[in-house]
Amino acid sequence: MQKKRVRLTLLINLFVYCCFSGIAYSQTQTIPLETKHHALVLQVSDQQDVRISYLGRRLNRVAEYKSIPDTYKQSTDYTGLLNSAYTPSGSRNLMEPAISVTHADGNQSLDLRYVSHEIQQLEDGISLLKIALKDPVYPFEVTLFYKAYFKDDVVEQWSEIKHDERGAVTLHKFASANLHLKASAYWLRQYYGDWAREMQPEEEKLTHGIKVLDSKLGTRANLFQPPVFMVSLDRPATEHEGEVLLGSLQWSGNFRTDLELDPQNNLRIISGINNYASDYSLEKGEVFTTPVFMYTFSAQGKGLASRNLHNWARDYKLLDGHGQRLTLLNNWEATYFDFNEEKLKALLKDTKKLGVDLFLLDDGWFANKYPRNGDTAGLGDWEENRSKLPNGIGTLVKEASANGVKFGIWIEPEMVNPKSELYETHPDWVIKQPKRDEYYFRNQLVLDLSNPDVQDFVFGVVDDLFTENPDLAYIKWDCNAVIYNAYSAHLDNQSHLYIEYVRGLYKVLERVRAKYPTVPMMLCSGGGGRVDYAALQYFTEYWPSDNTDPMERIFIQWENSYFYPAIASANHVTDWGKQPIKFRTDVAMMGKLGFDIVIDHLNDNDLAFCQQAVKTYNGIKGTIWHGDQYRLTHPRENSVASMLFVDKAKEKGVLFNYLVNNRYDEGSHLPIKLDGLDPERNYRISEINLYPGTSSPIAGEQVYSGDFLMKIGFNPQVRKARESVILQLEAE
């Protein structure tokens, strides 16, 4: 059926294409790009403008897409460009442009007309639509790319810009995507945050004008605002209902998304690299490739949209998306900078005792002239600190192996403390204004990754560690500072810095992955300051927040789960929060489990609980990492938050439930309706991860059909005395 439809689409395209390249071009042509449930339809007008005529649910009959525009009787579009597929500026456009330029001769007008298009089948279920556009007056071209992932209803979009003018053209704006939606109303769900309070949601009805989501931070760019967002059509979508688009830019630097409600009441979405302080001088013949903007569209609410994204991410984006992950013991909060070889050897024994896979040595292991004993010095000087580690990392890696665990290490290779030998030797490698006072973020400055020498240095930090310690099994790649005083001693053109920084970063990561393709790496940034799908191609996991108070984490992990799969979420049990160890561990289990506590300080019961929890987790992690995720009751709307993971075969499930309201008599008074089960099968439900000495009222004798569990539900009996309950479902 799917093949038939793709064939039909291709035939129609071929037909219109032939018509166009034949005699006269008078008819409009329709170019539908379909996925399983969604269609993006482009239309070429008789003026050869390329427009988006539809974005929404897929129609049964391809031929009917061309009838869509006539069904709208909206006010006049004076320019014919309100729904442009890539809005130029300086000619007849009156709205926010996707692209604006100054030509080599100083002229600022741009018009882009259809030249040709083609659709390629890349691999099973992935098609790529390319549309070539050209200015009728200037030798200036843009190619639009739309990559459709059929089964996941995901579309990736980007553009290539080039010219053949006599001299450089300045690009003032150069978006990746320009979408156009029609509905009676649009509801934007966006996120804001700061350190330790990432992913705070806000939802509002969009009004006329432009709402801009953006970052100008350069590095750690998502600190105040991540690039992810949702737009619901007509009314706010729920988990199960409503038409909703989830989108994001795949770029680890400054981004900008404009959401413009136009005079016709349609929504224009333009997303790309932030053009703030970033005029780009494009040489003749150079191709400027924008980063990828991606979106998924669901007509069955946010839940399906997020599961589609998770599947897509695990199949195509996240490094080793279908692989395994290492549980670990981290020493950051256990020791901070205060450790030595002896202490670490004891922690390696604790790692073994706890039963996790790996010990992760955090910040503080390096620098000698200015030892890294706090966050004010040493960053950049990546040789082992001789007084803390007289025998080097190698001894620890061996010791880890003797204990039957793996060894991982923390680095922050893009940054430098002014108090460091690196800064003294290479002040020109540092991003800072030559004539102004330095200004610091966590006492550090950012290295200039636009400079190939700096790229070599950063690659060398990773490469040297692996060369000297081939058994090193894990990297935590931190990135704490933003860019202040943006200036590169290397670049001639300062307005290229923000872009070249990110390009430089990707060049380094490419080299790291070419040489070390599989080693797991955590994308850390003092929290969720950096996660995006461009970076996740190089990383196996990300660190959502330094805030590991489990109550806060329920909320932060919840919002992240709309966009990123649980396998990528590194969650550590720490001493943040007042909740008992069981609560903290249960919350950390909803992703990739780690610990950052002093094992020695645990009482016998807590230790026994943690040891058992690691074993329990090993039994359920496959379902959490590779299964489907269902948000059942939302912590912002209910006293009990419930999150369910069901394996793809619908044979196993893990249901996490937490009391998130401490008021009198709050708890799960109603059953919680499950999702994603096989209605015909019976499921045995039992409580797991119990604290030593406690028993459960849900002991495993209870068997219900999937039908019952999804229509009536199950009560996990969450209340003050049972604040955190994990249930296991097993099909009989």
Of all residues in this chain, which one has the CB nearest to ligand DGJ in the complex?
Answer: 363
**DSSP structure string for 619-647:** HHHHHHHHSEEEEEE-TTT-SEEEEEEE-
How far, in Å, CA of 57 to CA of 51, rounded? 18
Q: Exposed/middle/buried for 604, CB within 10 Å: 0-12, 13-18, 19+?
A: exposed
Give the count of beta carbons closer than 10 Å to the beta carbon of residue 534: 21
Are 400 and 348 contacting, i.e. CB atoms less than 8 angstroms apart?
Answer: yes
Closer residue to ligand DGJ in complex, CB, 543/564 = 543
Q: At closest approach, how far in Å is the CB of 54 from ligand DGJ? A: 44
- The C-alpha atoms of residue 251 and residue 294 are separated, in whole angstroms, by 11
Would strands 280-282 and 140-149 be described as parallel, antiparallel, or unpaired? unpaired
Q: Is 478 assigned a ligand-binding role in the annotation?
A: yes
507 annotated to bind ligand: no
Q: What residues are paired with 437 via a beta bridge?
A: none
Could you give the CA distance from residue 514 to residue 467 in angstroms, rounded to a whole number? 14
| Residues that bind ligand DGJ in the complex, under the rule CB under 6 A | 332, 362-363, 410, 478, 480, 524, 526-527, 543, 546
Residue 477 CB contacts under 8 Å (≥ 6 apart), including other chains: 411, 412, 413, 521, 522, 523, 524, 539
Nearest approach, Cβ of 574 to ligand DGJ (angstroms)? Answer: 9
CB of 648 to ligand DGJ, least distance (A): 32
CA distance 72 to 340: 71
Nearest distance, CB of residue 360 and ligand DGJ, angstroms? 9
Residue with Cβ nearer ligand DGJ (409 or 449)? 409
Determine phi and psi for 31, rounding to 5 degrees: -125, 95
Can you give the length of the chain in residues? Answer: 732
464 is in an annotated binding site: no
Q: Which residue type sits at 31?
A: I
Rg, Å, the chain Cα set: 27
Question: Is 625 marked as binding a ligand?
Answer: no
Q: Which residue, 96 or 478, is less far from ligand DGJ as judged by CB?
A: 478
Annotated binding residue 479? yes
Give the number of other Cβ atoms within 10 Å of residue 16's Cβ. 18
Q: CA nearest 152: which of 293, 301, 310?
A: 310
19 annotated as a binding-site residue:
no
Judge contact between 498 and 485, C-beta under 8 A.
no
Nearest distance from C-beta of residue 126 to ligand DGJ, angstroms: 35
Nearer to ligand DGJ, 462 or 672 (CB): 462
Q: Which helix (H) or strand (E) holds 296?
A: strand 292-298
CA atoms of 31 and 12, how far apart (whole Å)? 8
Token code pair at residue 599: 């094992």
> How near is the Cβ of 375 to ligand DGJ at its closest, in Å?
6
Question: In the complex, what is the shortest distance from the CB of residue 563 to ligand DGJ, in angstroms, rounded to a whole number?
Answer: 20
Nearer to ligand DGJ, 42 or 356 (CB): 356
Instruction: Evaluate the CA torsion angle 236, 237, 242, 246 in order and state its sign.
Output: positive
What's the farthest any 2 CA atoms get from each other in the chain?
Answer: 85
Closest CA to 468 of 415, 532, 393: 393
Query: Which of 524/709 has CB closer to ligand DGJ?
Result: 524
User: CB-based burial of residue 654 (10 Å sphere; 0-12 exposed, 13-18 middle, 19+ buried)?
Assistant: buried
Helices 581-588, 550-560: crossing angle, 10 deg rounding: 10
The strand pair at 154-163 and 38-44 is best described as unpaired
77 is in an annotated binding site: no
- Closest to ligand DGJ by CB, 291 vs 527, is 527
Query: Would you say 477 is a known binding-site residue?
Result: yes
- Nearest approach, Cβ of residue 443 and ligand DGJ (Å): 11
Supply 660's token pair: 């998130």
Please count the other Cβ atoms lying within 10 Å of the Cβ belonging to residue 464: 12
Q: Is 682 assigned to a binding site?
A: no
CA distances to 577, 643, 719 from 663, rounded to whole Å, are 18, 21, 10
At how many degrees (to 10) do helices 604-626 and 341-354 cross?
70
- The reply, when asked if residue 476 is annotated as ligand binding, is yes
Q: Which is nearer to ligand DGJ, 451 or 547 (CB)?
A: 547
Q: Is the dihedral of CA 369, 373, 376, 379 positive or negative?
A: positive
Nearer to ligand DGJ, 226 or 676 (CB): 226
Six-digit token pair at 238? 């729920």
**Pick 263 or 374: Cβ nearer ligand DGJ:** 374
Could you tell me which of 579, 547, 563 has the C-alpha nearest to residue 660? 579
Residue 543 CB, nearest approach to ligand DGJ (Å): 6
Question: Which residue reads 């490469």 in tokens?
Answer: 463
To the nearest whole angstrom, how small is the minimum distance from the Cβ of residue 698 to ligand DGJ? 35
Task: Report in angstroms how near the CB of residue 438 gets to ligand DGJ at its nearest.
Answer: 20
Question: Does 442 belong to an annotated binding site?
Answer: yes
Nearer to ligand DGJ, 218 or 529 (CB): 529
Catalytic residues: 478, 546
The 570-573 sheet, strands edge to edge: 541-542, 521-523, 474-477, 406-411, 358-361, 328-330, 592-595, 570-573
288 touches 174 (CB < 8 A): yes
Which candidate, 279, 270, 175, 249, places its Cα nearest to that of 498? Answer: 279
Q: Within a 10 A sphere around the Cβ of 72, how many other Cβ atoms?
A: 10
Residue with smaller CB distance to ligand DGJ, 288 or 332: 332
Q: Least Å distance between CB 514 and ligand DGJ?
A: 26
Alpha-carbon gap, residue 675 to 665, rounded angstroms: 27
Question: Annotated binding residues for substrate, as ranges?
Answer: 195, 362-363, 442, 476-480, 524, 546
Q: Output the known binding site.
A: 195, 362-363, 442, 476-480, 524, 546
